Structures are given as structure tokens and as C-alpha cells.
Amino acid sequence: MAIRERMSGNEAVATAMRQINPDVMGAFPITPSTEIPEYFSQFMANGQVDTQFVPVESEHSAMSVCIGASAAGARAMTATSSCGLAFMWELLYVAASSRLPLTMAVANRALTGPISIGNDHSDSMGARDSGWLQIYAENNQEVYDNFIQAVLITEAARLPIMVCQDGFITSHGVSNIQLIEDEKVKAFVGEYEPEDYLLNDRNPLAVGPYGTAPYYMEVKRKQAQAMMDAEEIIGDVARRFEELTGRSYGFIEEYRMEDAETAVVVIGSSAGTGKAAVDELRERGVRAGLIKLRVFRPFPAKLIAEALSGVKAVAVMDKTDSFSGNGGPLFSETRSALYDRKERPLMVNYIYGLGGRDVTVDHFFEVFDALGRIAESGEPGETYRYIGVRDAEERRR
């Protein structure tokens, strides 16, 4: 029987960690992920886990602890946000290139500057090419479920994984969720038994050696192949998870897309707001739909292209900007996924929600209104757009 509970996304992650009982956790507090190690420390003090918790002086050291522990053969985890993730930057690449299975909870928060503790995706999206797998959650239930699945994914793929949720919106927002019984979680993730690790004296090896020119590219090529191979692993773990819980997870979620003429593509908690807008538009007779991305790395290009194949106009919603002059990262990936199709929808990009700026159902109405005009005229107009930004006249007032 599932256990009905009410908790925040941060507590849900910490609870999943308790049930998994990792060997090592290295962490440094940063808003809005601080509660995760706080909750986990309580579990340690209560004797509910036997994890070696290492409180460090910085996020750089937190990732260093996890890298060392994983290389030594331990199941290692951490949690961070925003500038904490940025402070790990150098070591993100070390972990990925060393093919170390690490699970990191990320409570997404805007990067400085200006200084902000509001939610957007600039932290994890800035690390999108570091070689880490990335999974995003819409709500607290998905946060919990994603984290449990992530442990098996990272250990099978031999790539580190970020389990992302929207800071404050889900990290601190409390909602009803269903927990899995402790013994079932433990059986699902099993014991971590690595084949190769530093403390295995029967097979000496080096981790993170100097990559000279004759070897560096081969390492990167194998990383790229591992990322592609992870697609099958993510799917297999999701099927096993559905057998355990009845809850189904894919790379994307198609919401009312069966006959949609216009659609939005979005990541994270904003999908819930978008779904509410789609429902109301459907009642008005507008054939609107929504695609929520759950997995960003590896990017599900074929699935997105197929899901958008019958749509006339699409708006891709980015909760960060890449400052490329051409739109955000989700837009770039989605547009690229559709490039080789003979028939593809007209597409525009909306940057929204930066620094915690609210996105409302009315904002989605504006987007769908614009899509309706694009579908009717056959002209996308300006593809790189912002929504929810005050104009100059409003600022003067």
C-alpha cells in the first residue's frame, strides 16, 4: 500500500535519500536546496541511515567529496542550487568524464547577477553540456519519483545525473504525494556493487588521469555514446518503476495533443499552469496542446518531432536565456529536432519567468493567441520573444 503524505519537494528528496540510504553525502547549504541536507541530517541523528555525511566549506568541495567517494566505490549524493552549482562547474566535467555515477538534487534558482533567489533554469541549463544527465519535475510527486529512478539510471549509464525541481515553487511548496514503502524502495534500487573502483586491489586503475591529445577525443566520444545509450536505460527504469507504483514516466508528456493545432513546449512546474490554460482554451473550442519535457539530457529529439508533427504553430517556453540572440536552449534543441522533417510547424520562442517572475494562465493565453494568429497567417514574425516583461512606459510609472 502506498503511503499518503504531505510534504515539500525538498523533504520529498530527503525522504527518498533516507529510503535509499547512500554511502556518502557531501553537501554545503545554499538556498533553496538547504533543507535537503537539513532533513537528511535529522535522519542521520535519529539513526535512520548510516550514511557518512561530510559537511564541507563550499560546493566545490561537496562535489569533490562525491567524486572521491564514487571513485572509491561508494553510492554518493549531494544537493545544490544556483551559484552553488556554478561553483561546482569544473568538477561537473571531472565527474562526467570519469564516468562516475552520482545523483545530485538541484533546486533550480537564478544565477547571479543581479543577485536573485527566485526560480529559473539558468543554473542547470548553464551546465547542460557538462555531460550530466538531466531530469526535471513538474510537481512534488515527480520530484520524489524522479530521484528514486535516478539512482538506477546513473549507475547503469555510468553518467552522473541532476534531478531538477523549481526552487521555492516545488522545493518549499507543500502538496500531497504518495510515498513508496521503505523496503520496496530499498529493493528497487538494490545494493550498489561497482565492477571497478579505486579500493578494488584486484584491479588497480586510475580515475581522472591526464588526457593527452592521443586519448582525449576518444574519452569524449565514449561520453557522447553513453549519453545516447542512456535513452534505453531511462526507459527501462521507468517501466520497472511503473510496475512498482503504477505511475508512468516518459521522456516527454503529451497533454491534449491528439488533435492540437497549436502547442507550447515547457519544462518544470510551469507545465501545470500551461495545462490549466489548455483546458480552458479547449472549453472555448481552441485546439490547444502542451508538451512537457521531463528529460532534457539526453534530449528526446525524435519524440518531440513526432509529437509536434501535426501542429501548425508551436511556442517553446524557456525559463532561461542563452544570450545567443536567437533564443533559449530549449528552443534551440527543439527547433533542431524538427529541422530535417519535410513538414514542420512554425515556431517561436518565449523567454519567461526569469529571476522568479510569475507566469500565469493569462500569459499562456497571450502565447496561444499569438500562435493562433501565426497559424492563420503562415508567418511566425519575430521568433525571439519575451513575455511578462514590463515595457519602458510601465517602468517610468
> How do residues 261-311 score in pLDDT, each as one tens digit?
999 999 999 999 999 999 999 999 999 999 999 999 999 999 999 999 999
Average pLDDT, the chain: 96
**pLDDT of 390:** 86
Which residues in the chain are classed under CATH 3.40.50.970? Answer: 3-245
Asked if 111 contacts 81 with a C-beta cutoff of 8 angstroms, the reply is no
Binned at pLDDT 50, 70 and 90, residue 391 comes out as confident
Which class does domain 254-396 fall in? Answer: alpha beta
Residue 290 makes CB contacts below 8 A (sequence gap 6+) with 254, 255, 256, 257, 263, 264, 265, 266, 271, 274, 275, 278
- pLDDT tens across 50-99, in order? 999 999 999 999 999 999 999 999 999 999 999 999 999 999 999 999 99
What is the pTM (predicted TM-score) of this model? 0.96
Residue 380 makes CB contacts below 8 A (sequence gap 6+) with 313, 346, 347, 348, 374
Residue 348 makes CB contacts below 8 A (sequence gap 6+) with 313, 314, 315, 316, 370, 371, 374, 380, 381, 382, 383, 384, 385
pLDDT above 60 (res 397): no
Collapsing DSSP to helix, strand or coil, 283 comes out as helix
**pLDDT of 280:** 98
Q: Compute, in degrees rounded to 10, the torsion defined by CA atoms 309, 315, 317, 322.
A: 90
Which residues in the chain are classed under CATH 3.40.50.920? Answer: 254-396
- pLDDT tens across 131-169, in order? 999 999 999 999 999 999 999 999 999 999 999 999 999
Q: How many CB atoms lie within 10 A of CB 354?
A: 20
Which class does domain 3-245 fall in? Answer: alpha beta
**pLDDT of 1:** 64
**pLDDT of 119:** 98
Binned at pLDDT 50, 70 and 90, residue 2 comes out as confident
**pLDDT of 396:** 41
